[in-house]
Structure 1
Amino acid sequence: MIVELSHRITDGMVTYPGIPGPVIGTHLSREASREIYEPGTQFHIGMITLAANTGTYLDTPHHRYADGQDLSQVPLSKLADLPGLVVRAEGVRQVVLDEGLDVRGRAVLIQTGWDRHFGTDKYQHQHPYLAPESATWLAEQGAALVGIDSLNIDDTPSRGPRPAHSVLLQAGIPLVEHLTGLAALPDEGFRFHAAPPMVAGMGTFPVRAYAVLPQRPR
């Protein structure tokens, strides 16, 4: 069973305040392509202009640190087929993790339920975030990846610090923000995938995040 964990990207959508929405258009229309190909053959080639922080996206170390690994340098072993763990934290603004959890080598996904507000003004304000001390603990314990279903893994006053980004990305732990659908996952026993294109020199990009659950016996 495969569970979708990404928001759909649509023309003009707002992901994060102040970041422009994507513009989706056409490079070659089906009508125009009829003049290029033989009768009965037509194609559509689309175009999209978007900020890298759009929809459900991955942060690599290069997002925070100039000498950190970018999208083309983070190995797939940190992005795909990871054993997953869901931390339930609905109704909590600052998420403090239970330090008894086994997080080493796992994708740790924080379910706050905030994804239900995605696309609304409420999503942008007073969102849940990871406690700085928990970010430090995840780095020390060797988590493979950390994700959250809210606006940001850090608290976001306009000019505030970003301790979770700083600590986790410095440790080489990728982040996935704006996840959705985590309520459909079990606490563990699934594999997580969130691989972006291999774009050199960029630190963030949208991903198609999803989880693979084991087949139930018939």
Structure 2
Amino acid sequence: MIVELSHRITDGMITYPGVPGPVLGTHLSREDSREVYAPGTEFEIGTITMAANTGTYLDTPHHRYADGPDLSQVPVSRLADLPGLRVPASGGREVVLDTTLDVRGRAVLIHTGWDRHFGTGAYLRDHPYLAAESAEWLAEQGAALVGIDSLNIDDTPPHGERPAHTILLRAGIPLVEHLTGLSALPSEGFRFHAAPPMIAGMGTFPVRAYAVVP
């Protein structure tokens, strides 16, 4: 079974406060293509203008560190076919992980349920986030990737620090934010995939995140 874990990208959607929504357009319409191709043959070539942090997206170390690996430099083995672990969040906004979990080499997906607010004003404020000490523990334990179904893996006060980004990306651990549908996953035993295009010089980009469940 394949489980979809990504939000759809639609024209004008807002993913994060202050980040403009994508603009979808047309480079070649089906009507105009009839002048180019043989009778009965037509195509459409679309365009999209968007910020890299749109929809469900991956952060590479280059997002936080100028000399960190970018989208073209992170090995696909760190982004696809990873053994997954779904970790339900409990308590308040700050998510503190159980340190008895086996996270080494796994994609650790933090399930907060905040994705139920996606597309509404409620999604953009007072969201769950990962505690700094849990980010440190994940880095120490050698997690392969960390994801969350919330606005940000960090708390997002104006001009604030971003300890989870700082710690995990410094350790070379990619992040996936704005996941959805984690409730459909078992706690473990699935494989996680979230590979972006190989774009040189960029640190973030949308992904089609999904899980394969036996």
TM-score range, shorter chain: over 0.9
TM (norm. structure 1) is: 0.97
1:142 corresponding residue in structure 2: 142
Q: Distance in 2 between matches of 1:92 and 1:202?
A: 34
Amino acid at match of 2:23: V
1:56 corresponding residue in structure 2: 56
Q: Distance in 2 between matches of 1:88 and 1:6?
A: 18
2:161 corresponding residue in structure 1: 161
Give percent identity, aligned residues only: 82
2:105 corresponding residue in structure 1: 105
Query: Over residues 122-155 of structure 1, what are the superposed CA-to-partner deviations in whole Å (9 max), with x where a residue is unaligned?
Result: 0000000000000000000000000000000000
Q: Distance in 1 between matches of 2:18 and 2:187?
A: 34
1:212 corresponding residue in structure 2: 212
Check whether the contact 1:91–1:112 (CA below 8 A) recurs between aligned residues: no
**Aligned 1:38-117 pairs, distance under 5 A:** 38-90=38-90, 92-117=92-117
Amino acid at match of 2:168: L
Aligned residues: 214
Query: Over residues 79-123 of structure 1, what are the superposed CA-to-partner deviations in whole Å (9 max), with x where a residue is unaligned?
Result: 000000000015531000000000000000000000000010000
SS of residue matched to 2:62? helix
Check whether the contact 1:90–1:111 (CA below 8 A) recurs between aligned residues: no
1:11 corresponding residue in structure 2: 11
SS of residue matched to 2:119? coil
SS of residue matched to 1:109? strand
Gaps of 5+ in 1: none
Gaps of 5+ in 2: none
User: Greater shift after overlay, 185-194 or 88-97?
Assistant: 88-97
Is 1:34 matched with 2:26?
no
Amino acid at match of 1:177: E
Q: Distance in 2 between matches of 1:19 and 1:140?
A: 32
SS of residue matched to 2:46? strand
Amino acid at match of 2:2: I
Displaced runs of 4+ in structure 1, greater than 4 A?
none
The root-mean-square deviation of aligned C-alpha atoms, in Å, is 0.6
Amino acid at match of 1:143: A
